[in-house]
Structure 1
């Protein structure tokens, strides 16, 4: 076989422990290496930093230049003035005068959703231009035309000021404007000026496809296992060989691989994830998602062709984590694992696919996938090529407006090239059914889809993290209720309701926790699982303004229960299928007070008389009991037809009658297939005096009628997993601010720091509304002190005088403690108070006026100085923070910063010490800039020596070298007048030499 030599640049690592480049992952080089392949054996030869002159013009070097050209066209940011990220997180960044990217934090951009909608509309439109009439129809379809046109003009003006705030006076029709108007069209500048990650992602894929087409045309006579693009368009989920290549990767294939990898890295998540309702956003998101799925499959095929099986498995794992029902990805994963003799993992991958298809779509894998599984299970040989396997089916969530009776084979909307990934297949969780005769068939089969049923909860993009135990408890309760209902007969159920039955398993689950902790999400998850197994799910919630309406949370439940059974409300419409003794004997007259619509149907059939619907006057004292008993009989009767899961969301805002009805049903429905799931914010329940719901829960727990689950905050690691798609600095910020609250974490992930999300601010505002105005003011003053404070400090903060009404402060603190916004720690005289959540501190701090905030910071500094007189160094860092935030004079800041630095230096906290020494240097230079005396210069040299030492110990050798060089200049400027000064200069030169050595540059 003829040998072939290729040249590549690589970075090498020396492995020395003190080498900064290797320690930071930068390495040395890059250096050129020559790769020579002979008879399947490849050898590598070191060339150097430069190629030999006779190799400079070879085809390999031209390929390197060509590769850089292809890549930079989509990723070049040299001429870009705006950078917009819409994949995974909607973020806008401007280039400042120093050519650095800074996020846009304008209040209009952060708060006005319609501005982002217009920008997204321009991005989604081909050519980034849109007609005014089209924009109005998309954004204000239900608004008067003249008013909508005025709104659009204002919106364009606001968006232009956000995009180019320094060019507001320029004509709107200027060709240099980022957002300009030409006739009736709005035009956004192209990618060379306004860079959008979604367009860069599309451009990279387009270039990769062009390379694939060129490869097909030039290498048509060469037998290659890599499928061409035209073949992939005919069969986009083609399975390729797993055997490693026998020759080097073609040059265009190398470029294509790099483009695909860059595109995969570019796709950080769904397009504009914060918007889930707008149709054109959803369509564009789905189109990009389909491109990404095909990209991941193509990339895995390339890795397999090269023999990079670990990279292929990693790519397929990422694909299946996002879309577990992607059968094409599972097929490839099974083949790769089987080729690596990892049969157990391959079989488990197939079983996971079967479970997902059965649970989500009530169908089975394709016959080809089943044959592949049987081959591996029986220890057969996997063929070297699967190029003739048919297209694997792609399961996606159904569109809400999908038509009934979709014919996959004859539909005009079928995608070109057999790409059925765009079709909406059935979802069992949404009430869509597939006939068993058609399940698991290939294209050419007609699926008869029934209208979708109840859609439970919200559309979740993030997985459920950190709730495995709670979810398993709910699943076990659901399973036990189902098994218990099968074993017990109707008469036994009625006889088993004895008090304090220790053998009874509860049929009511209470999820308690703070707002946003995940109670509703857990209820949604168990509801979906119940619905997939044939349970009827009924969801009801109550709002604070409805707390005074009797039985408000139950009225929706009763209406939905009655709707489950045709003819239950109107006896004239009952069908033979519903004629069972329980329904025939059911009397709904006591419920007419809760459901007035029942009275008309009951009177029309002569079941009762209009004047006797609400009972006799002498029987009013038994009305409440009759209502509860009728509700129990109704639920029990309907559960004989269909098992019920009843979810009561936010029951803390319901009235006491609703609480008593819940308590009655939790005891009286034992043995029936009814599962009650209740969510409650425990922070909304008062303990002194005790809330009525807490009393009911205690009684139910004593009788084993309820299972209470306290939903705890997530750990910092779990929050990191929840937002792992974000950059690491952003993840660390969210971990610190969310404090284990998943809702707060997801909302923070959708905004740019330091802006507090509106949804989070609204939740915190709702919490603070329960407090009195003096208490809120006290907590606002305490927020200046940070996340915790002591009683003596907050007392002094309330006034500038020493005379403070401590009893009044204690009363306000007790109010805050009872509401749960602060917690108490410690005993005796050392009691500290902590805010319930870090974001509450930010919320209260932001509500203060700037002038008041500065005055409070200065007051806090004075209070701490008085409280720690004689030992100020203990709190010098905190005092320095308050002086800086309050705008104190530089001398005071420098004094306390030096105390903090010396204290940290004595504790060997060199990073903290260096931070404060740098602060001292900055402020003494501001203070003494005009009249620098020799003693002040000596003082500056002392501070610089301390700062350089701390920087050196912290491992920042280059920065330390610059500090020593500055020290050297200052020392030489003073002149050398004694041997001591000469020795000092020599030591400085020695430290500079050590920094070069530690940087491994000698």
Structure 2
């Protein structure tokens, strides 16, 4: 073990012989980080000017001497070489720095005998080691407010390391793609894209990986997201090569997945190239060895009651069908719960059809229906036998939607849908018969299973057919599972109205998922501890097991995730990778969490995004009057923005107006001149979303907003006699604004 260990990627800390060292001042940490990264002997004048720019030379040098004394004492005299003129790290001692280890891991690939643009099987291990070292950005959560030069240096280093991290993720993604492990390639590509969501090469790679994984709709959606981001932030269109790839995928002419070819050199390499309108990847394989990764799998958690209801509902299906709706906020576990039932059906021998809607595809008529049918029709041998029993006139109707059926089943040429009475119903009935046939090939099979995920984004035509299908549930045993995100689908929606009708007839089950309780997370953590001790654990499992030994982990996870399962899994994955430690006071947002939260914001109107950022500075809870005053938007703009944020489920109105009651009790009566809107309170649904928005605001603008908030609250306190009630808030915002009130 290194005698002295410096962790600078993420929240910085120091260890000596494995024990964490406490350093009294932030300047000492900054000094040590600067010496570690520059790797050079630094003059005292340089360090004094860098860290104390507002001091004169005598005072700066005196403060530097005190800082060095405190740092040297904390290090027990190990690690620094100090003389009258300069200071440097003592590299003759055992010294380990994570940034250096990160660079060394990347550089190791250059020793494998291939070009820098290539990757071999041996590259994967050091590159994955580099990813494990990158806990978060350089000195995450650390800054010196009184040293602009150090902050500039830190920003430069952080940007450089982030680019290297993106380069590593790109290479790993393409390596897994070369081995046809497209799901893992997608995971790394999404992390790559999260670093810079305007990087078209990342968008293109993700489009190809989705297509090769059989997720064509996701590939098309990725392009549309790329178009939207480039237009919104840069007012430009995608490059021709990106658009060409999209058109190729849209026409179902996706390039073949990469293959691994054996060469005399016995060296597995991957080389990326972009030439003309073609985006290609050339793969040359040497070794037949397969690379494996260990993935720690997590059980379904905190949903025992919901699972029992699902299992019971499906098992009771006999002569007529059943609709199951699972709703809840983003990341609550709707899809995971539905997939557990899907797996159960498959184990019982039931036939299943699944499809998912994507945001931004509501203009693709019958997109959801087409996606589901094509996924099943790809299984030629099975479906051809099933469709041989489907009357030709029904196949002919389906052929209007799926032209590829015409030559495959010797149908008449497809004709447009006739605009005559009954034509629409005849077409829908053809689709229904198709679904029923594919879900029930023989009479002795369990009820068929259709799963449509994220139905809130489905196109109108797909919804029309779905309603037609659901109104005929009593004609055949069939289970239809829908998931939708609340509050996107609410009582006025046609599906919601039909759900209530079917519930009244005993043909529907509606589950609204709530966030996990602290006790559920505690039980889940204990389950991981038990399961990891009963088997030979993987390195990731051992990392979690060691962390679980700290009894506060469940409490910490609940505080960080607020009971949202998707965020919980992301945090556990970071713990498994050794990127988060329970003893750290500050946990940076994992890349997966940042991506999940960022996706909640992409569709927002610019005004709504700006108002939400202002709200993030006000705090977790905020009132209309303060928000309206600080945002400098008109009252109507503020109202419209709040309505969009409520509809997107990003904020919610306070259900219990406790604060208002207390305000009324502390005054003889409410001021009749006070607008009623000042009593409207809202709060963020996700505290981590507020944190993300807050950190994306520049320090200058943050101080400006904090100052305006403090001034607004002070004026309100003086007018309405609320000084004692608002004093703490005013003091906090004044402190954050670096001003006094």
TM-score of the superposed pair, with normalisation by structure 2: 0.53
Q: Name 1:780's counterpart in structure 2.
A: 613
Report the CA distance between 1:849 and its aligned residue.
Answer: 1.5
- Which residue of the other structure, out of 308, 316, 337, is the alignment partner of 1:480? 316
1:887 is matched with which residue?
738
**Distance in structure 1 (CA, Å) of the matches to 2:295 and 2:478:** 26
In structure 2, which of residues 409, 412, 415 is the aligned counterpart of residue 609 of structure 1?
A: 412
Alignment correspondent of 1:855: 704
- Structure 1: distance between partners of 2:460 and 2:606: 28
- Distance in 2, matches of 1:757 and 1:661, equals 40
CA 1:476/1:96 → structure 2, altered by over 3 Å: closer, same or farther? same
Equivalent position of 1:466 in the other structure: 302
What is the deviation of 1:600? 1.0
Q: Given the alignment of the two structures, is residue 741 of structure 1 paired with residue 542 of structure 2, yes or no?
A: no
The equivalent of 1:594 in structure 2 is 401
Q: Please identify the structure whose Cα radius of gyration is greater.
A: 1
> 1:405-804 alignment to 2 at 5 Å?
461-481=297-317, 484-485=318-319, 507-562=322-377, 566=381, 569=384, 582-583=389-390, 587-603=394-410, 608-610=411-413, 613-614=414-415, 617=418, 619=420, 622-638=422-438, 639-641=440-442, 642-643=445-446, 644-670=448-474, 672-685=476-489, 690-701=492-503, 703-723=505-525, 725=544, 726=547, 727-728=550-551, 731-749=554-572, 750=574, 752=580, 753-798=586-631
**Equivalent position SS for 1:684:** coil
Instruction: State the distance in 2 between where 1:760 and 1:856 align.
Output: 26
Distance in 2 separating the partners of 1:139 and 1:864: 57
Secondary structure (helix, strand or coil) at the match of 1:868 reads helix
Kept after mapping to 2: 8 A contact 1:82/1:163: no
Deviation readout 1:666-710 (Å, 9 max, x if unpaired): 3324363432222111233477xx445444544544554432211
Contact 2:703 2:738 in 1 (8 A): yes
Alignment check: 8 A CA contact 2:4 2:14 kept = no
Sort the Cα spacing of 1:276 and 1:520 in 2 relative to 1 into closer, same or farther, 3 A: farther
Deviation at 1:468, TM superposition (A): 1.0
Question: Are the counterparts in 2 of residues 720 and 731 from structure 1 also a CA contact under 8 Å?
Answer: yes
- 2-side partners of 1:460 and 1:161: how far apart? 21
Which whole-Å CA distance do the structure 1 matches of 2:380 and 2:738 have between them?
70
Structure-1 separation of matches of 2:139 and 2:603: 43
Task: Label 1:705 to 1:771 Cα distance change in 2 as closer, same or farther (>3 A).
Answer: same
For each residue in 1:234-255, what CA deviation from the matched residue of structure 2 results, as whole angstroms up to 9, or x when unmatched?
Answer: xxxxxxxxxxxxxxxxxxxxxx
How far 1:713 moved relative to its partner? 1.1
Q: Is the 8 A contact 2:488 2:647 kept in 1?
A: no
Structure 2 distance, partners of 1:863, 1:96, is: 49
SS of residue in 2 equivalent to 1:859? helix
- Alpha-carbon contact 1:636-1:669 (below 8 Å) kept: no
CA gap 1:116/1:461 in 2 versus in 1, 3 angstroms? farther
CA distance in 1, matches of 2:343, 2:512: 21
Pick from 628, 643, 653 the counterpart of residue 824 of structure 1: 653
Shift of the 602–777 alpha-carbon distance from structure 1 to 2, 3 Å rule, reads same
The aligned runs of 1:5-16 (5 Å cut-off) are: none
SS at match of 1:545: coil
How far apart, CA to CA, are the structure 2 residues paired with 1:91 and 1:138?
31
- Cα deviations by residue, 1:246-298 (Å, 9 ceiling, x for unpaired): xxxxxxxxxxxxxxxxxxxxxxxxxxxx9996999x9xxxxxxxxxxxxxxxx
Is the CA contact 1:462–1:722 (under 8 Å) kept in the aligned structure 2? no
Q: Shift in Å at residue 469 of structure 1?
A: 1.4
Select the residue among 639, 659, 678 that pairs with 1:810: 639
Q: How many angstroms apart in 1 are the aligned matches of 2:454 and 2:722?
A: 50
What does residue range 237-248 of structure 1 map to in structure 2 within 5 Å? none
**SS of the counterpart of 2:484?**
strand
Is the 8 Å Cα contact of residues 370 and 401 (structure 2) preserved in structure 1?
Answer: yes
The 5-angstrom pairing of residues 286-435 of structure 1 reads none
> For each residue in 1:181-214, what CA deviation from the matched residue of structure 2 results, as whole angstroms up to 9, or x when unmatched?
xxxxxxxxxxxxxxxxxxxxxxxxxxxxxxxxxx
Distance 1:118 1:700, change over 3 A: farther
TM-aligned CA deviation for residue 657 of structure 1: 1.6
- Which structure has more relative contact order (CA 8 Å, sep 6+)? It is 2
SS at match of 2:435: helix
Give me the whole-angstrom Cα distance separating, in 2, the residues matched to 1:625 and 1:478.
Answer: 28
Q: Is the 8 A contact 2:136 2:588 kept in 1?
A: no
Equivalent position to 1:100, from 5, 15, 21? 21
How far residue 543 of structure 1 moved from its aligned partner, in angstroms, is 1.6
- Conservation of the 8 A alpha-carbon contact between 1:590 and 1:630: yes
Q: 1:677 to 1:92 in 2, by over 3 A?
A: farther
Contact 2:328 2:514 in 1 (8 A): yes
CA distance, structure 1, for counterparts of residue 98 and residue 367 of structure 2: 38
Q: Which residue number corresponds to residue 158 of structure 2?
A: none
- Cα-to-partner distance string for 1:844-864 (whole Å, 9 max, x where unaligned): 212211111012112222222
**In the TM superposition, what whole-angstrom CA distance separates every residue of 1:292-351 from its partner, at most 9, and x where no partner exists?**
xxxxxxxxxxxxxxxxxxxxxxxxxxxxxxxxxxxxxxxxxxxxxxxxxxxxxxxxxxxx
Matched, 1:838 2:687: yes
| Number of residue-to-residue matches in the alignment | 465
Counterpart-to-counterpart distance in 1, 2:174 and 2:566:
16
- In 1, Cα distance between equivalents of 2:174 and 2:16: 29
- Report the Cα distance in structure 2 between the residues aligned to 1:459 and 1:624, rounded to whole angstroms: 48
In 2: Cα distance, 1:279 partner to 1:731 partner:
39
Partner of 2:5: 81
Change (3 A) 1:673 1:561: farther
- Shift of the alpha carbon at 1:797? 2.4
What secondary structure does 1:534 align onto? coil
**What is the SS of the residue equivalent to 2:471?**
helix
Query: RMSD of the alignment, in Å?
Result: 4.9
Give distance in 1, aligned partners of 2:701 and 2:342: 50
User: Against the structure 1 CA distance between its residues 661 and 139, is the aligned structure 2 distance closer, same or farther, given a 3 Å change threshold?
Assistant: farther
Report if aligned partners of 1:586, 1:633 keep a CA contact under 8 Å in 2: no
Aligned equivalent of 2:119, options 128, 141, 148: 141
Shift of the alpha carbon at 1:787? 0.7
**Cα distance in structure 1, aligned partners of 2:387 and 2:404:** 23
> Hey, what's the Cα distance between the residues in 2 that align with 1:588 and 1:537?
20
Name the CA distance, whole Å, in 2 between partners of 1:748 and 1:659: 36
Q: Contact (CA 8 Å) 2:716, 2:722: kept in 1 or not?
A: no
In 2, are the aligned partners of 1:817 and 1:823 still within 8 Å (CA)?
Answer: yes
Structure 2: unaligned runs, 5 residues or longer? 34-96, 141-172, 182-293, 527-543, 581-585, 661-675
> Structure 1 unaligned runs (5+)?
1-76, 107-114, 166-273, 283-457, 486-503, 893-1002
TM-score between the two structures when normalised by the length of structure 1: 0.40
